[in-house]
Amino acid sequence: MDTPTATPTSSTPLAPALEQFLDRIIAEKDFKLAALPDTFVEDAKADLRPLLLKSINLRLFSQLTDSDKKELENLVTENASDETLQTYFANHVPDIEQRMAEVLIEFRSSYLGR
């Protein structure tokens, strides 16, 4: 069964907390930002957004039962809104806050090479 995903374009902002997360890990990477073009941070975030969203989607999808996965596929096929999908995950993924935290920790570690 394929994992349904709502992948944003590289310029589609994520939720504010996730945008702040990307800002923080880019700053932590210590790129010597002052020496780089002004567009560097936005370009880096544009590259990271779809990767982060895919990581989140895969983790949350893996927590669903088979029947929940089928229901989610139907929602995606019907072009459900982002809000509807977020509500669906919140109602069907046990300990969603913990799962999200795990993804962010793993993503940060991978990005920073730690």
In this structure, is residue 42 part of a structural domain? yes
Distance between CA atoms of residues 60 and 48, nearest Å: 18
Amino acid in the structure at residue 23: D
In this structure, is residue 102 part of a structural domain? yes
pLDDT value at 7 more than 70: no
In this structure, is residue 2 part of a structural domain? no
| Residue 48, number of CB atoms within 10 A of its CB | 19
On the CB side of 113, CA atoms within 13 Å amount to 4
pLDDT value at 31 more than 90: no
In this structure, is residue 6 part of a structural domain? no
| Domain that includes residue 88, residue range | 23-30+38-112
In this structure, is residue 106 part of a structural domain? yes
Q: Are 60 and 99 in contact (CB under 8 A)?
A: yes
Please tell me the total count of domains within the chain: 1
Judged by DSSP in three states, 12 sits in coil
pTM: 0.79
In this structure, is residue 49 part of a structural domain? yes
In this structure, is residue 18 part of a structural domain? no
